[in-house]
Structure 1
């Protein structure tokens, strides 16, 4: 990947960008938590379902609402060339997060014997906290991938600091990154042309 002054921000700039992303992730996640807990409470008290079934139903509804928030608000500027891949990975990592959350709830109810409604809610909060950290890392790393930045005019044609692969020093041309970005854009244009 090409490194330029624009594409190689300082540590402070990266942390500021990450903190903004964390805040937006938290807002979308908080809306999902509200949906999750509302559906969980309705399932337990309204439909009298078991706690694990209620948790799974609530989490599935929250996953759907969170995807919309992440895709169309937080990560709207990220690569959307392969929605099928994105949705598949989103569901995979969301499902893993659901297993983490449900595992903590199941452990507290069936192993620790904490089975009152408020104890179940507390266990759900603990499981949700662990699952949220897992989801944040996996979504930003693998699901909503960043679009590679094109090389700017006057930028060096190779990476500023050569990469080391199996002991050998390799300089990757910036034109490869530009070619990948152009290929992604061409793919999007073809998809839109077919849709019309």
Structure 2
């Protein structure tokens, strides 16, 4: 019996492997950003809501639209055995991302005194960037988990077990019904 040691892929190789996922994440995220900014702009200009309330409302609408994109397009092949768990974690991590985004906006408005609509939009962009990195890592790690794959020593042992089972089955004499 020989054992092989699997080499870990380098960081560059792992990033290349994730490039398609990051592009799709960006497409869904970009659609969410568009929804987020449209709702934010309507709330802040049309409804004259305060910037933080506008941000929370806009982010909640974007979270709902993003979930649909992530679940049914980007992560459609991921384990969906427990939707209740998935939705709960999605909402928890989305809420944390919203707090990051709103925190940056609140800091810029109330601590730095950036009060014009364009300054608030710029602060929203900065908060959204930080929140997006957080969301990407948390969604792919905890919310939309990959289907379990054979890796490491288990993968090497699996073919031997299958081979032994096939040999045992082949050694048995067939019994035919009369």
List gaps (5 residues or longer) in structure 2: 163-178
What is the aligned partner in structure 1 of residue 85 from structure 2? 85
CA shift digits 1:22-49 (9 cap, x unpaired) = 1110010000000000000000011000
What is the 5 A alignment of 1:90-109?
A: 90-109=90-109
Compare the two structures and name the one with the higher helix fraction: 2
C-alpha separation in 1, matches of 2:84 and 2:140: 17
2 CA distance for matches of 1:9 and 1:16?
A: 14
CA distance in 1, matches of 2:7, 2:77: 18
Which one has the largest radius of gyration? 2
How far the C-alpha of 1:149 sits from its partner, in A, is 1.9
TM-score by length of 1: 0.72
Residue 21 (structure 1) aligned with residue 21 (structure 2): yes
Alpha-carbon displacement from aligned partner over 1:88-128 (angstroms, at most 9, x marks no partner)? 00000000000000000000001111010000000000000
Unaligned runs of 5+ in 1: 159-173, 176-196
Find the residue that maps to 1:79 and give its secondary structure: coil
Aligned equivalents of 1:142 and 1:89: distance in 2? 7
Task: State how far apart, in whole Å, the 2-side matches of 1:124 and 1:13 are.
Answer: 33
Pairwise CA RMSD of aligned residues?
Answer: 2.3
Give the distance between the partners of 1:10 and 1:99, measured in 2 at CA: 34
Q: Which has the higher contact order (CA 8 A, sep 6+)?
A: 1
Distance 1:76 1:9, change over 3 A: farther
